[in-house]
Amino acid sequence: MNVSRTLPATVLALGLALASADALAAITARIATSLPDSHPQTLGARKFAELLTEQSHGEIEVQVFGNGVLGNDVNLASMLQAGTLEFNVPSTATLASLNPDFSVISLPFQFDDASQVDAVLDGPAGRTLLDSLADKGIVGLDYWDNGFRHITNSRHPVETADDIDGLKIRTMQNELYIDMFNGLGANAIPMPVNELFTALETRTVDGQENPFTVIDSKRFYEVQRYLSQTGHAYDAQVLIASKRFVDSLSEEQQQLVRDVSREAALYQRQVSRELNDTLLARLTDQMSINEVPLEERQVMRERLMPVIEEHRAEISEATLSAFDAALAENRR
């Protein structure tokens, strides 16, 4: 037997076996979104996937599935709880079905600006809400930005509170948003966002309400004539993870997920806000846009006081106190 020839072959085979073992040891995770590749939600998901794959040195490989290909936000949150999906970025309005306290973020005409939003949500009040998801099988990681919401429709501009009367407005599948638009005199029709374009095109609904980024990325300007800047509510999204998946990771890997989550959140917020700012000019070429006067927005808020009080009553006193104090402390 020629040992000199056999030994290199043995070493090579051993090396290939170890390489294969390393490849098999890599953890594959998926992050799903409901919005298109051009939307900051999916752009943020891609940044998170890139950072986690890179900073784990390939130990955790993250694949991105955008534009609702794995389901809508309600479906995706259920998949996370079941452990059949690793990451998702739903609206806080979706998470309110798991913990009604998340509705505190969506209360109408509550936040003054993005700086106040970040101060409140990144502080103890926002963090406590994220931590409340643990007993639902979900790990709340960080808040992302979707932006202030505005009304579009195909019938007429919304210049006064009375202009909303009778409009069939699509809302998220969330009781607060349904009550909000019914309270403004509209006929609220809840449906998933991925069914909305066809509903607008066929005039099943007259209009909808979303930030500029969604209006643009979902091409609603093709089937909507009027965009009215109401800024009636702020919409945050949350990067969440399956608790079953996170618990399967080492302590080092869990910390890396949290570190990368923060980095991706800061990136996503910046992209979202810069895009919301620039999109207004682009949408001006596609739609008839008007800014709703402050006094009319105040009329809308006054009309919604019964809805606000009704939904505040469903939120825990501890959460209300924490948010009220944080809002007051960070009021401009």
| Domain locations in the chain as residue ranges | 3-329
Mean pLDDT of 164-187: 96
- Write down the pLDDT at residue 23: 46
pLDDT digits (tens, 9 = 90+) for 19-60: 444 444 589 999 999 999 999 999 999 999 999 999 999 999
pLDDT digits (tens, 9 = 90+) for 266-309: 999 999 999 988 998 899 999 999 999 999 999 999 999 999 99
Q: State which H helix or E strand residue 226 sits in.
A: strand 226-229
Give the dihedral of Cα atoms 34, 35, 39, 44; nearest 10 deg.
10
In whole angstroms, how far apart are CA 249 and each of 28, 66, 244, 259, 297? 12, 24, 9, 14, 48
250 burial type by CB count under 10 A (0-12 exposed, 13-18 middle, 19+ buried)? exposed
pTM: predicted TM-score of the whole model, two decimal places = 0.87
Q: Structurally, what CATH architecture does the domain formed by 3-329 represent?
A: 3-Layer(aba) Sandwich (3.40)
For the chain, the distance separating the N- and C-terminal CA atoms, rounded to the nearest angstrom, is 84
Q: What is the mean pLDDT of the chain?
A: 92
- Write down the pLDDT at residue 173: 87
Exposure string of 9-33, with b = 16+ CB inside 10 Å and e = fewer, is eeeeeeeeeeeeeeeeeeeebbbbb
Lookup: tokens for 185: 């005199």
- Write down the pLDDT at residue 70: 95
Between CA 100 and CA 274 the distance in angstroms is: 31
pLDDT digits (tens, 9 = 90+) for 105-145: 999 999 999 999 999 999 999 999 999 999 999 999 999 99
Helix ranges restricted to H, 70-172: 73-82, 92-95, 103-106, 114-121, 124-131
Numbers of helices and strands, H then E, in the chain: 15, 11
- Write down the pLDDT at residue 20: 46
Between CA 112 and CA 298 the distance in angstroms is: 13
- Write down the pLDDT at residue 9: 54
Q: State which H helix or E strand residue 177 sits in.
A: helix 175-183
pLDDT at 203 over 90: yes
- Write down the pLDDT at residue 18: 46
- Write down the pLDDT at residue 6: 52
Could you tell me the pLDDT band of residue 73, with boundaries at 50, 70 and 90? confident
286 burial type by CB count under 10 A (0-12 exposed, 13-18 middle, 19+ buried)? middle
pLDDT digits (tens, 9 = 90+) for 217-274: 999 999 999 999 999 999 999 999 999 999 999 999 999 999 999 999 999 999 999 9
pLDDT at 13 over 60: no
Q: State which H helix or E strand residue 47 sits in.
A: helix 40-55
Pick the closest to residue 213 from 114, 270, 118, 146 (CA basis).
Answer: 146
Rounded (10°) angle between helices 114-121 and 124-131: 60
